[in-house]
């Protein structure tokens, strides 16, 4: 369990951010599936182009083991309103704002002395061209892998967390996940 003073500091920090819902879970409550990885492989143009995406992040089993090495999980959503949710270009253009908020939340966790693994809704965009696969990641402390790229089943995560998976209408719902361990930060 996270200690109450760290939890309060984190939740106070969240109050300044446009986080819509959040929940604290055990890392063991996260569900993984090879089928999610298969969707990356068959449908995502970032597959095989980044250390933040598969196969650079490792197998689903390796991702599961990595997540399981953390004591707790914190899941949250942000929401962006668009003119037309069916317009994929407009919908995806709202990802950056969510990634920035994920980075800010990671900073709050680190300020509390917690070791973190942050996952978010998109592939890493820290560098204009990823070093993958020719060299190691240039900024391992800044990069944020894609949550689905880890094989995580986000609808099941939302259900466990009691968080709305889809806010409907022209609202884009983005998920972020932080795994944390005490005292290593």
Q: Measuring CA to CA, which residue among 85, 72, 83 is closest to residue 183?
A: 72
Minimum distance from residue 124 beta carbon to ligand SF4 (Å): 3
**Contact flag: residue 57 with ligand SF4 (CB under 6 A):** no
Cα 52 from Cα 147, distance rounded (Å):
9
**Contact flag: residue 124 with ligand SF4 (CB under 6 A):** yes
Cα 70 from Cα 88, distance rounded (Å):
34
**Contact flag: residue 131 with ligand SF4 (CB under 6 A):** yes
Beta bridge partners of 21: 77
**Contact flag: residue 150 with ligand SF4 (CB under 6 A):** no
- List phi, psi (to 5°) of 176: -135, 155
| Of positions 127, 153, 164, 171, contacts ligand SF4 by CB under 6 A | 127
Minimum distance from residue 67 beta carbon to ligand SF4 (Å): 18
Cα 61 from Cα 68, distance rounded (Å):
10
- Binding stretches for ligand SF4 (CB under 6 A): 50-52, 124, 126-127, 130-132, 137-139, 142-143
């Amino acid at each position: 369990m996270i200690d109450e003073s760290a939890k309060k500091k984190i939740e106070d920090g969240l109050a300044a951010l446009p986080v819509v819902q959040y929940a604290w879970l055990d890392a063991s409550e996260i569900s993984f599936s090879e089928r999610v990885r298969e969707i990356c492989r068959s449908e995502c143009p970032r597959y095989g182009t980044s250390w933040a995406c598969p196969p650079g992040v490792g197998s689903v089993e390796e991702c599961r083991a990595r997540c399981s090495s953390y004591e707790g999980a914190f899941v949250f959503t942000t929401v962006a309103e668009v003119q037309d949710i069916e317009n994929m270009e407009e919908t995806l253009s709202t990802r950056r704002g969510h990634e920035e908020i994920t980075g800010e939340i990671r900073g709050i966790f680190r300020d509390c002395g917690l070791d973190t693994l942050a996952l978010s809704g998109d592939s890493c965009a820290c560098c204009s061209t990823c070093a993958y696969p020719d060299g190691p990641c240039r900024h391992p402390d800044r990069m944020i892998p894609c949550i689905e790229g880890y094989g995580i089943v986000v609808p099941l995560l939302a259900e466990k967390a009691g968080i709305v998976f889809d806010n409907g209408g022209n609202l884009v719902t983005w998920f972020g996940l932080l795994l944390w361990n005490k005292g290593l930060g």
